[in-house]
Amino acid sequence: MTSSTNVSCFHEARRVAIFGGTHGNEMSGVTLVNLWIQNGKEIQRKGVETKPFITNPRAVEKCTRYVDTDLNRAFTTENLSAPSGDDLPYEVQRAQQINEIFGPKGSPEAYDVIFDLHNTTSNMGCTLILESSKDYFNLQMMHYIKNAIAPDSCPVLLTEHPLLKYSTSRSVAKHPIGLEVGPQPQGVLRSNIFESMRVVLKHALDFIELFNKGLEFPPCTVDVFRVSEKMDYPRDTNGNIIAMVHPNLQDCDWEPLNPGDPMFQTFDGTTIRYEGAGTVYPTFINEAAYYEKQQAFVTTRRETLAAGAIKKT
């Protein structure tokens, strides 16, 4: 078969959701979704039902990341199949409700696309998060978005990893897409960050509309950063952090970190260097929410993914 006839066909992406407030203190998503719940004109596209949705209203109300447990880690098979009950942590109950409305996860009834809106204190710019390297629909969408916002860039983080992949709220859909925009402090709304998230979503919805109209998207490649290793802060025997992200690494998300480069700085000024085998591309550098998850940053490796042509069935 030649590549010109090798087109992957997908059903029309009719049911699309936009999640905000999965973490209640990540304000761009909370604000955008609340706006669109009141007036959804901006997110309407022909042939698409787009549903804006606040996933963790209690956390949003308290302006906190979560109430009992991180909602964006709660969509495990175990949690989703557990018998429902009031004694379950709030976010587990919420995950079950969300799975009912937008899933069930893994079934034909699940929503076609879910965009999950996040902010980070890291200097990640406008990052798109991809969960599967084989999701041609998502790859084509990301390719479209990257072209649309050029010369601005939109790094793609691939979280496909046997240990490091986590069960996100968006994973309920057939095509889950994370939007991670930073740097922005938790609890703060910066208008430039808010606007850039809005623009990326606009292009994403444009893509879906074009796809649903029957446009065929030719084969393409997408440069991604595949997640590799989680790096914790150096700690003492009591678990207290004893060094900080080195000034040379701070804010350098997506830039190469070579063996021997400074990585951490102890409180008395000693430099701790990266001792990996080769060059990596760190990201989520100094994310506030990850101190408790034992993560100072995550390393990634560059990869080029190929996506075949796609078309509506």
Partner 1 sequence: MEGREVVLPTVSRVALCGGTHGNELSGVYLVRERLKRKVEEEDHFSVVTVMSNPRAVQQCRRYTETDLNRCFTHATLSGPVTDKTPYEIVRSQELNTLLGPKGSPEAMDLVCDLHNTTANMGLCLIAYSDCDWISLHIYRYLQRQMSDIPVRFIHFDLPLNEAYSLDSVGKHGFAIEIGPQAHGVVRSNILSTMQEGVQHMLEWVHLFNSGTQFEGGKVDVYTMVKNVDYPREFETHGITAAIHPQLQDRDFCLLRPNDPVFQTFSGETLKYKGTEPLYPFFINECAYYEKGIALSLARQRSVGIPSIRSEREGEQGKRKSSAEEMEEEEEIKGEMEEEGYQKLMEYGEESDSLNGQYN
Which residues form the interface with partner 1 (CB under 8 A)?
Answer: 31, 34-35, 63, 121, 183-192, 194, 240-241, 244-247, 250, 265, 267, 286, 288-289, 291-292
Residue 166 marked in a binding site: yes
Helix boundaries (H) for 87-221: 90-102, 136-149, 191-213
Residue among 35 and 210 whose Cβ is closer to partner 1:
35
Residue 279 marked in a binding site: no
Q: Give, as one character, the DSSP assignment of residue 301.
A: E
Between CA 17 and CA 286, with CA 95 as vertex, the angle to 5 degrees is 85
Contact predicate 21/35, CB 8 Å = no
Residue 118 marked in a binding site: yes
Closest of 256, 304, 68, 298 to residue 163, by C-alpha: 298
Residue among 19 and 264 whose Cβ is closer to partner 1:
264
Residue among 8 and 271 whose Cβ is closer to partner 1:
271
Q: What is the distance between the alpha carbons of residues 310 and 134, in angstroms, rounded to a whole number?
A: 12
The minimum distance between CB 263 and partner 1, in angstroms, equals 11
Residue among 52 and 183 whose Cβ is closer to partner 1:
183
Residue 15 marked in a binding site: no
The minimum distance between CB 56 and partner 1, in angstroms, equals 17
Q: Which of 160, 180, 216, 292 is catalytic?
A: 180
Helix boundaries (H) for 68-161: 77-81, 90-102, 136-149
Contact predicate 252/283, CB 8 Å = no
The minimum distance between CB 116 and partner 1, in angstroms, equals 20
Residue among 5 and 192 whose Cβ is closer to partner 1:
192
Residue 203 marked in a binding site: no
Residue 49 marked in a binding site: no
Number of separate helices (H) and strands (E) present in the chain: 6, 14
Catalytic residue at 131? Answer: no
Query: E strands along the chain, which residues?
Result: 7-10, 15-20, 49-54, 113-119, 125-130, 156-158, 175-182, 220-231, 243-245, 262-266, 271-273, 281-283, 297-307, 309-312
Contact predicate 156/130, CB 8 Å = yes
The minimum distance between CB 167 and partner 1, in angstroms, equals 24
Binding-site residue positions: 23, 26, 65, 72-73, 118, 166-170, 180, 290
Binding-site residue positions for substrate: 72-73, 166-170
Binding-site residue positions for N-acetyl-L-aspartate: 65, 180, 290
Residues belonging to the active site: 180
